[in-house]
A and B are shown apart, each in its own frame.
Chain A
């Protein structure tokens, strides 16, 4: 079953590039030009991965991530922060995102990152499942 990714990116070129890349990998892709309804959108689609541009109308990527990570239902979905900022590390450090991608970027890097994050999420879910089934002796 294909993975679902939601891309919040106001630059249409980049949105197109991301879509192409993930669709080529047979992912289910949804793109949005602003992040104001990020929580609602993500609840509707339950994505496996979220790509969030830092500088996106109107509340900004940072605020959107804060909202996403503050939601118990969505907090475990990995989020990649995408930014052209030179200090992307600092922006990332305070964002709550799971990984970052500096513009411009290497597509292959992005794919590797995406797969790794999903892998981690799967592992986490499995672990939680195992724990919940594990009888305490």
Chain B
């Protein structure tokens, strides 16, 4: 073996040595099996932490600390096998500056071969990678740490890697959220592991985070998952954060999730409960109030406002809305309770009161129960919260119950202390209550009476009354002041006035009757006398009044009969009235009271019997206690007493009715089946009524006659009108036909004269009929608006047509004159005045007519130029049948024209008059109002 010598180094060798020496990384060369260091550059010496003294020493000598490592073996191996050894990042502990330090090296042992191909040494090259290695180690540690952190995090976390979001890491909490087996999810894309989490928007969210790097946060996100085999909604607060590598590239998603399902569910439950409370609050119509005592504000919900009748929506105010809203009677009490709560905490703050409110706008009274609590902080009240409830209905019910109870108590007291008998019974007549007065009156105790039938106090013959009473009660009607007799336990009669009313239950059903009885025994006698007396007076008064007013014969008879029968207490009464008909035949009318007509009609009325004769002949009153025992009785030929079937008469009273002329016009007859019923008092009463009746009957008779006469008069007027005018019309017609046929002058002239006379008769007949009508008040006007001027002009034309002897002039300053009235009747007046003017001034040739008008009336005047009328006669000229004979001995006429004119004008509300002086002619005026005043 040949070892190269240091001194033998050629140029090449020196260059190599220089490279080694200056290389920036450690290089050393060992020779021989013993690994003697022949070369070691500065770098390796530094790395070893040694000095240049290492040259010539063996590797083992220099680095004894490597004894425990396998490095010596490695060197031997390289030397003996000739195969190089490389290692990276190998930890080597070296003693540097007296201290064992850890280094990391990438190093190589390279065999050095001699010319014969034998290994003679090893070259050691190394790179100190200690810094690099430490760094890597640190990084590895933090990754581990991070994973540990995830695994041990108190919240669910997972790391999803890659675009498929493969589950790289997931802690137990997350696995729990997922509800899956850990082995089934690890290393699997998350949406494949959790297929049920798909399509809830999470993939998109996650992809967005992966793409954009913007973290995503969601709270209370409900995610539907199949957990442990069942579907559940999981509420999560979660974040997706981008997970980056050391170069900042996003390589995954870090998902953090907090399962808040429990909280959410709890909250949802709470919300539901609150909703339910709210609903029930609304249903119960509970209102709430909330006073912030520190801020001094108050809040009322709508119901609370309603209970105080507040319609506005503004803030409510303690004083204005609450205190003023309380009923004045409750205000002091409630405010002092609240003041007490505010003052000290010792009260405990509980508030539970009832009060009334008076609605602010609706003024309604409501009962309110308020319940609440005051909360204190450091002894000071800070908040006052509570609810209010409308208890009006309940309260009213309570009040009515207490009122009812009070009423009942009062009622029981009244019933017990009453002197009146008060009994109640069922509709079947079973006694249900019995007061002390009933005990005293009937002798039965309360216990004895209750449960028994009411008939124990009813006398046998009066049992029927009970049926009547109960039938009334069943109909819901009251029986008032029913005077009757009841019997005591001992059978003694008790006179009672009963008032029986139905007892009605809450449903309005009649369930029984209450009977109030008053003992009227004592009153009875006195009352009867007094009552009868007043009744008689009343009846007398009534009969006198009504009979004297009555003019209808039959009504008078009936009224008198009824009244006298009642007054005398007779079983029946009759009024026989003699009448003479138009033929002079006498007949008898009769009216009855207390008996039917049939019971009389069949017997007739014999006047000549000993019993009846004194009455019909006007001898006087017959009053007998028992007519059958009277000597006058049974003397008549036919029946010898009352005929069979006659009403039974024992007591008898007969009073003649005599007219003013002294003639007996009838008789009043009364009968009673019991004896001694009619007294002298009855006799007096009937006599006075009979006298009054006689007068009324006379009057009625007179009226009947008058009415008959009046009817006849009307009939006569109608007949006369027809009967008189029909022949006149015929004569008139024939004459006119003749005058149409005859053409010769003389006969024609005669015919015209005949016609004029017929005209006069016609006018007279018409005038007479008018007079009759005026007398009977039957002159009728047909009222309409008309032009008076036209009427006056027509009348003038008509008169001029028949009387050509006079010239009639007309003057007026107006053209039209519309008035209301009967134009034909007014024309009749004008014609009348014109005819008179012509008739009474035969020697004059003219008549002047004027018409003038003011704002209320129109006046027409007709002036003649005849002899005139003496002043003293002017007033009489409008009277019926008045004629100024001496002035006009040759002038015909009935003297009714002016009378009719006067009537017509008066009926129009106008006036008619005349002005005249003897020898100066006369002026007749009439004026009419422009419009008729109503009525």
Contact = CB atoms under 8 A, between A and B. Distances in A.
A85 B780 CA distance: 13
A44 interface: no
Nearest to A93: B782
A107 B734 contact: no
A113 to B, nearest CB: 15
Contacts of A107: 733, 736-737, 740
Contacts of B730: 11, 13-14, 17
Interface residues of A, number: 22
Contact of B722 (A21, A55, A104): A55
A87 B728 CA distance: 17
B279 to A, nearest CB: 72
B773 A14 contact: no
Contacts of B729: 11, 14, 84, 103-105
Interface string B738-777: 0010000000000000000010001000100110010000
A14 B352 CA distance: 111
Nearest to B769: A86
Contacts of A87: 780
Contacts, number: 61
A90 B780 contact: yes
B784 to A, nearest CB: 10
A85 B721 contact: yes
Contacts of B732: 104-105
Nearest to A85: B721
Given A55-B722, A85-B722, A104-B729, A24 B780 contact: no
A120 B365 CA distance: 81
Nearest to B778: A87
A98 B825 CA distance: 21
A93 B784 CA distance: 12
A104 B733 contact: yes
Contacts of B740: 24, 107
B381 to A, nearest CB: 93
Given A85-B721, A90-B782, A13 B766 contact: no
Most chain B CB within a 10 A radius of its CB, from A13, A93, A104: A104
B233 interface: no
Given A84-B722, A86-B721, A87-B780, A13 B734 contact: yes
A93 B782 CA distance: 9
A55 B722 CA distance: 8
A108 to B, nearest CB: 8
B521 interface: no
Given A24-B740, A86-B773, A14 B733 contact: yes
B824 interface: yes
A106 interface: yes
A108 B735 CA distance: 12
Contacts of B758: 104
Given A24-B740, A105-B729, A86 B766 contact: yes
B725 interface: yes
Interface in B690-741: 718, 721-722, 724-726, 728-734, 736-737, 740
Contacts of A84: 721-722, 724-726, 729
Interface string B93-117: 0000000000000000000000000
Nearest to B762: A104
A85 B740 CA distance: 27
B751 to A, nearest CB: 12
Interface string A55-96: 100000000000000000000000000001111011001000
B725 A106 contact: no
A45 interface: no
A26 to B, nearest CB: 14
B133 to A, nearest CB: 122
A55 B782 CA distance: 21
A135 B733 CA distance: 50
A108 B801 CA distance: 15
Nearest to A103: B729
Nearest to A24: B740
Contacts of B725: 84, 103-104
B770 to A, nearest CB: 7
B818 to A, nearest CB: 20
A93 B734 CA distance: 29
A2 to B, nearest CB: 18
Contact of B737 (A20, A86, A89, A105): A20
B782 A17 contact: no
26 contacts: A11-B729, A11-B730, A13-B733, A13-B734, A14-B730, A17-B736, A18-B733, A20-B737, A24-B740, A84-B721, A84-B724, A84-B726, A85-B721, A86-B766, A86-B773, A87-B780, A89-B824, A93-B782, A104-B728, A104-B731, A104-B732, A104-B762, A105-B729, A107-B733, A107-B740, A108-B736
Given A11-B726, A86-B766, A105-B729, 15 more contacts: A20-B737, A84-B724, A84-B729, A85-B722, A86-B773, A89-B782, A89-B824, A90-B782, A93-B782, A103-B729, A104-B728, A104-B729, A104-B731, A104-B733, A104-B758
Interface of B: 718, 721-722, 724-726, 728-734, 736-737, 740, 758, 762, 766, 769-770, 773, 780, 782, 824
A-B pairs with the 9 shortest C-beta distances?
A17-B733, A84-B725, A13-B730, A104-B732, A103-B729, A104-B729, A107-B736, A86-B769, A104-B728
